[in-house]
Amino acid sequence: MKKNTLSFVLSALCAVTVYADNPAFNWPQFRGPNRDDISKETGLLKEWPADGPKKLWNYTNAGSGYSGFSVVDGHLYTMGTRDGGEILICLDADKGNELWIAKLGNILDNKWGNGPRGTPTVDGDRVYTLSGTGDLVAVQAKDGKELWRTSMESLGGKRPGWGYTESVLVDGNQVVCTPGGPKGAMAALDKMTGKVVWQSDKWTDGAQYSSIVPADINGQRQYIQRSMTNIVGIAAKDGALLWEQPYPGKTAMIPTPIVKGNQVYFASGYGVGSMSFDVEPGNQIKMLYDETGATPNKVMKNHHGGVILLGDKLYGYSDGVGWTCQDFKTGQLVWSEKAKLGKGAISYADGHFYLLEEGSGNVVLIDATPNGWHEISRFKLDPQTSIRSPQGHIWTHPVISNGRMYLRDQDLIFCYAVK
């Protein structure tokens, strides 16, 4: 090999190694580092080949469930089922081989598909995860050794109809979750021991299906969460109820809250729509737009699959409207596109949205722009599972981490090169 060729190859290998191990591109929890489904990676493919980006590997033994991915330091963590129980799975993120599994508890039985729904949360040398039946387990990241466990039932919770779907939050020294119920709908546990630090005894609604978002509003650290009837801000230090805003839902409240500055935004499906308000000093609520009040807003009726705030615009799928861009401040429709792609999940990286259609498995790359739908590339997920419930779809969100895109259809996990 000529000297200049060898130098080029070595440089390229070094670049790949540095990129793959870059902690800035880790994806340690549901919806990424900031729980917003936004990746900060650059240098990704601007378009894909006709048959899609190169498939690097396909793991086939994840079992049932809709659990998403955390990807940290070359390891991929998700949940599934095996041998009559729910499990936490660790894979080599680059090669797809199984490194270890940890047992969680019984399998959630549900007509929409059995198994876990949430995403593991990685914090340092530990992984925290909540099973579909409500077992909260902490394990060592290196080998899956169990460190402690508790249950939502022991915290006074009653499992919601479709199981616990929350992806627990690790914030400082606390693991925060939403068991729901009379002891306190939200609970903070010591992340090292699992002992209860506090429960929100002034907020006792039943658990729904969204995940907590942390925020600093008016100088106060707080956790934003929703129930079927209310949106709340809970003090991070002691679980006090800081503010509560009625938000009547229907059937299920699923999408993750969005917070920017002191503006809080929620969307919901089943015809409900979106609500946004400012939390002003003194924890006073100033309504900006409201799906039930004087300024009803039906622009973003997001059932699930996520809504992303990019700049001052919101993007996601709205039932009856299609893929939608909504103004964050006013709630007004910017654009919508229903014919090009059906309902699904969304993620963002390097100027593009990655869309996964739940019914077909079509994966589409579009420009992230308020100027309308501009499709770049698409391909269809192949193969697709044979074990999915007839009532279920492909509901796991796409994850882009370290130049790779990870997708899941029940027992099948896919890794594609997108750099």
Q: What is the pLDDT of residue 3?
A: 44
Confidence of residue 10 (pLDDT cuts 50, 70, 90): very low
pLDDT tens per residue, range 356-387: 999 999 999 999 999 999 999 999 999 999 99
Instruction: Give Rg (Cα) of the chain.
Output: 21
Q: Is the pLDDT of residue 355 over 90?
A: yes
At residue 13, the pLDDT reads 44
The whole-chain average pLDDT of the chain stands at 94
**295: confidence class by pLDDT, cuts 50, 70, 90:** confident
> How far, in Å, CA of 334 to CA of 338, rounded?
14
67 touches 91 (CB < 8 A): no
Q: What is the mean pLDDT of residues 231-256?
A: 96
| pLDDT higher than threshold 70 for residue 213 | yes
CA distance to 122, 186, 217, per residue, from 240 (Å): 26, 10, 15
Is the pLDDT reported for residue 1 higher than 70? no
Instruction: Give me the CATH number covering residue 217.
Output: 2.130.10.10
Q: Is 14 part of any domain? A: no
Query: Is residue 28 in a domain?
Result: yes
- Would you list the DSSP string of 282-329? TTEEEEEE-SSSSS---S----SS-EEEETTEEEEEETTTEEEEEETT
Query: By C-alpha distance, which of 89, 43, 42 is closest to 64?
Result: 89
Neighbours of 7 (CB within 10 A): 11
Note down the domain range covering 246: 23-417
High-pLDDT (> 90) share of the chain, %: 92
Does some domain include residue 324?
A: yes
Q: Are 124 and 175 in contact (CB under 8 A)?
A: no
pLDDT in tens, 34-84: 999 999 999 999 999 999 999 999 999 999 999 999 999 999 999 999 999
∠ Cα 316 384 132 (to 5°): 65
Nearest to 213 by CA among 266, 163, 165: 266
pLDDT tens figures, 109-147:
999 999 999 999 999 999 999 999 999 999 999 999 999
Give the model's pLDDT for residue 290: 87
pTM of the model: 0.94
* pLDDT recorded at residue 23: 72
From the number of C-beta atoms within 10 Å of its C-beta (0-12, 13-18, 19+), residue 316 rates as buried
Share of residues in the chain with pLDDT > 70 (%): 95
Cβ count within 10 A of residue 389? 14
**Confidence (pLDDT) at 21:** 53
The answer as to whether 2 is a domain residue is: no
pLDDT over 80 (residue 94): yes
Residue 278 lies in a domain: yes
The residues with which 313 forms a beta bridge, in sequence order, are: 310, 327
Residue 138 lies in a domain: yes
Residue 140 is predicted with a pLDDT of: 98
What is the rounded CA–CA span in Å between residue 150 and residue 57?
Answer: 35
Is residue 10, in this structure, part of any structural domain at all?
no
Please spell the DSSP secondary structure of 161-218, one letter per residue.
TT------EEETTEEEE---STT-SSEEEETTT--EEEE-TT--PPP-S---EEEEET
Q: For the chain, how many structural domains are there in total?
A: 1
CA-wise closest residue to 340 among 372, 371, 315, 301:
372
Residue type, 40: K
d(CA 411, CA 80): 8
Those residues whose C-beta lies under 8 Å from the C-beta of residue 288, and which sit 6 or more positions away, are 263, 276, 277, 278, 329, 330, 331
Instruction: Reply yes or no on whether the pLDDT at 4 is more than 50.
Output: no
Q: Is residue 329 part of a domain?
A: yes
Per DSSP bridges, beta strands 174-177 and 187-190 are: antiparallel
